[in-house]
Chains A and B, each alone.
Chain A
């Protein structure tokens, strides 16, 4: 699971109000080079929830060099784009869990795939 995915997910158990963002419990993180596509990065940047992104990056150990606040003007800076690209798409949670901040329910991430299926008493 990359931080792009983490940024999009929130806990959908019924009646949960504050299910975003998931806390990340890390067992194993790996890095893989990803195709650098500035147009894609410019498209996705304004849609990223920045505080959640920073929190995720902190957990996966790639927070360094990412600014506290996000501003569109940063997209002009190639150095920033590279760091954003790296944290968003190249750092990968292989094993671990997504933990609901409200209920503590753990959604396991195995072989990089978060298992977000709800149990029958959670729908």
Chain B
């Protein structure tokens, strides 16, 4: 339940079975800044003080004794507080019965005073909230340090579409990746999602149609003869001291070589499907118009196979069907669906009879382009007949976004395009620009 019943509030009350549960969620979740046991709150300082005075002494007792070191941090939402402002506020809390020693570095307990004040500068936040003070004991805080250590800035092997570390970790959280599991990224590229899943302890497998990205890698920072003379997916695992992927395979997800009776082997399928002019999907087979002009095949094991365009719609149909077959029941598929305001409609989000949609969250990238993180869970065993019937009822998997380039280039000349962009309401960007 959000505080003050405001859906858009970043502060939510949750009821959890135990403090342990709160801790484990708090440590793993990256988008939850912290979990706080609220001792009091109010719209004015006087209200907060009254609420804290009324908080039962026996509930406070285990945390305020002389045996604990502690600190109080002040967190402001919607405004910036100077160091002096913060110290003033902390001083005003002196009525609280703390007996322990203050320690700023690594105290046993951290208490949080949250000041919500959006009246002065509402441009600091996406949403304005009414003024409010909260005080409580911090139960858990997100381990965002992990993102710093996995930052792409220092990643050895990168490509133009390497997944941002934070997003890759969030994808793994959506898929509930953990030790003991097998995870697949069918569009592995430089392996940035594999790295995140391996960090959480899963065995990871990656496939891609691009042999260069999988096998050859790139020249690395090291000189000739050094360990980083060339870098590839494996280098990224070595860099973080993670176990290497259990398999990397060059394949086409449209015509894949996984044995037909293989089922329920994966706990998670996580990927960023190919899309767009530069990173568009390819599948095996020659385009019909050039099929007869291709070189004859003399040795099938060295011939360079022809490829043809692979629409997003087809690609996602293959992804969902493969996931429906290979996931264990309860296993999850997490992927990015590219979207634009003109083409996105909820009915187009692909479905499958064995999969249930769990979440569909928009990440705004630019004014004209966003992507949606889609999470699905396998809820029924794979039934080939049901899947075939489902697909037969929807003969053309192409999506509106697959026709976007024609739409944009055919109908709008430059001037009209500019006008359209200006007329569109400015969209707030919460995500990073990619």
Contacts and interface: CB of A to CB of B under 8 A. Distances in A.
Interface of A: 1-2, 4-5, 8-12, 20, 32, 34-35, 37, 39-40, 43-44, 47, 49, 89, 97, 105-108, 110-123
Interface stretch (B4-12, B26-34, B79-87, B258-266): B258-266
B247 A5 contact: yes
Contacts of A8: 247, 258-259, 262, 265
B301 interface: yes
B214 A113 contact: yes
A113 B249 contact: yes
Interface in B174-214: 179-182, 201, 203, 205, 209, 211, 214
Nearest to A14: B255
Nearest to B203: A40
Interface in B248-285: 248-252, 255-260, 262-265, 284-285
B246 interface: yes
A25 to B, nearest CB: 11
Nearest to A21: B259
Contacts of A120: 284-286, 291, 294, 297, 305-306
B250 A123 contact: no
Nearest to A103: B300
B249 A9 contact: yes
Which of B209, B211, B251, B263 is the most central at the interface, judged by chain A CB atoms within 10 Å of its CB? B251
Contacts of B257: 9-12, 116
SS of B interface (majority)? loop
Contacts of A112: 248
A48 B209 CA distance: 25
B243 interface: yes
Given A37-B179, A40-B180, A40-B182, A113 B248 contact: yes
A2 B215 contact: no
A114 B249 contact: yes
19 contacts: A5-B249, A9-B258, A11-B257, A40-B203, A49-B259, A89-B246, A97-B301, A108-B302, A112-B248, A113-B211, A116-B249, A116-B256, A116-B257, A117-B252, A118-B285, A120-B297, A122-B300, A123-B255, A123-B284
B188 to A, nearest CB: 11
A105 B286 CA distance: 20
Given A10-B257, A108-B301, A117 B265 contact: no
Nearest to B267: A43
A43 B303 contact: no
A32 B237 CA distance: 14
Given A118-B252, A120-B285, A120-B286, A10 B259 contact: yes
A2 B285 contact: no
B247 A2 contact: yes
B189 to A, nearest CB: 14
B307 to A, nearest CB: 8
A34 B243 contact: yes
A43 B291 CA distance: 44
Nearest to B286: A120
B173 interface: no
Contacts of B258: 8-10
A118 B286 CA distance: 11
B259 A111 contact: no
Contacts of A89: 246
B246 A4 contact: yes
Contact of A114 (B201, B203, B209, B250): B250
B180 A35 contact: no
Contacts of B263: 47
Nearest to B243: A35
B265 to A, nearest CB: 5
Contacts of A47: 262-265
B247 A39 contact: no
A43 B259 contact: no
Nearest to A112: B248
B228 interface: no
A113 B214 CA distance: 8
A26 B249 CA distance: 17
Q: Which of A20, A40, A89, A114 has the most CB of B within 10 A?
A: A40
Nearest to B302: A108
Contact of B260 (A1, A2, A10, A119): A10
A110 B255 contact: no
A86 B248 CA distance: 18
A39 to B, nearest CB: 3
A37 B260 CA distance: 27
A105 B243 contact: no
